[in-house]
Amino acid sequence: MQIKMWGVRGSIPTPGPHTVEFGGNTSCYEVRAGGALVILDGGTGLRLLGQDLVKEMPLEAWMFFSHVHWDHIQGFPFFTPAFVRGNKFHLYGGLNVSRTLEETLAGQMDYPSFPVHLTEMGAGMTFRDLYEGEVVTIGPRNDVRVTNARGNHPNGVYAYRVEHDGKVVVYITDSEHYSIVDPKLKRLAMGADVLIFDAMYTPEEYSGEVGGTPKTGWGHATFVAGCELAHAAGVKQLVLHHHDPNQTDSMVREKERRAQELFPNTVAAREGMIIEI
């Protein structure tokens, strides 16, 4: 399996000189599992992924959305392969997270917000709303297994476990962990080769010591919670994801350094980074 990072920022895109090292695009990951192209979330990083995928058309991909807040869907109207006939996309989202995935993607492209509606995109699309805990097998050879679990976020969120040929990637974004390791997410992450985890805040930002206000109830976690989950689930590598828009490159580097003291095999997600497992 191969993971490539196209968007690692949370809440809103943050272009500028202070974010060039880790990147300013919002959530999007490309996972190659056997012959399957799996896309996790459709933030603004999806536009860049789409430009890269043009050379592979016609193509088929399986897209899993954690939830439908803007920073996880706002790249979809600019995803070039979705406008091209002959391409096929299978889109999955959590049932009753809010409106359905199809309704929400169409809604952000309604007039007057966007000039082209979802129904005018040329690629073939099928939508599937997932139940919590449902397992789906995907890919051209039907040999990739994707499991989900609900996280802790306003309006709901789904985390995903992608398995192929004994390798496991787990994607947990926008999930608050409070004072204990969430047992559902621990089960989902158990034994993962790579755990991509929403470590949006430092403990000081979460408590409100830094940044002006406590973040309790906002639906995001700290790098400390990520390290605790990584230890509890016995994962091999932790990737700190969903960097706060106020965090500069130097702040993300410091967050990474502090996390490595707790869980040595930790890296902060960077646009363009590739992990092979």
**Contact criterion met (CB below 8 Å) for 120 and 156:** no
pLDDT tier at 97 (50, 70, 90 boundaries)? low
pLDDT of residue 217: 94
Could you read off the pLDDT of 139-174 as tens digits, one per residue?
999 999 999 999 999 889 999 999 999 999 999 999
70 φ, ψ (degrees, to nearest 5): -55, -40
Tell me the pLDDT tens digit for each residue of 111-140.
888 999 999 999 999 999 999 999 999 999
Closest CA to 271 of 74, 48, 73: 48
Structure tokens at 136: 């789906």
| pLDDT tens-digit series, residues 46-79 | 999 999 999 999 999 999 999 999 999 999 999 9
Per-residue pLDDT band for 212 (boundaries 50, 70, 90) equals confident
Segment among 94-98, 161-165, 189-193, 217-221 with least mean pLDDT? 94-98
pLDDT digits (tens, 9 = 90+) for 228-250: 999 999 999 999 999 999 999 99
Distance CA 100, CA 106 (A): 10
Burial of 100 (0-12, 13-18, 19+ CB in 10 A): middle
Mean per-residue pLDDT of the chain: 96
Q: 144 and 164 in contact (C-beta within 8 Å)?
A: yes
Q: How far apart are CA 242 and CA 268, in angstroms?
A: 9
Taking the domain 2-276, which CATH number applies?
A: 3.60.15.10
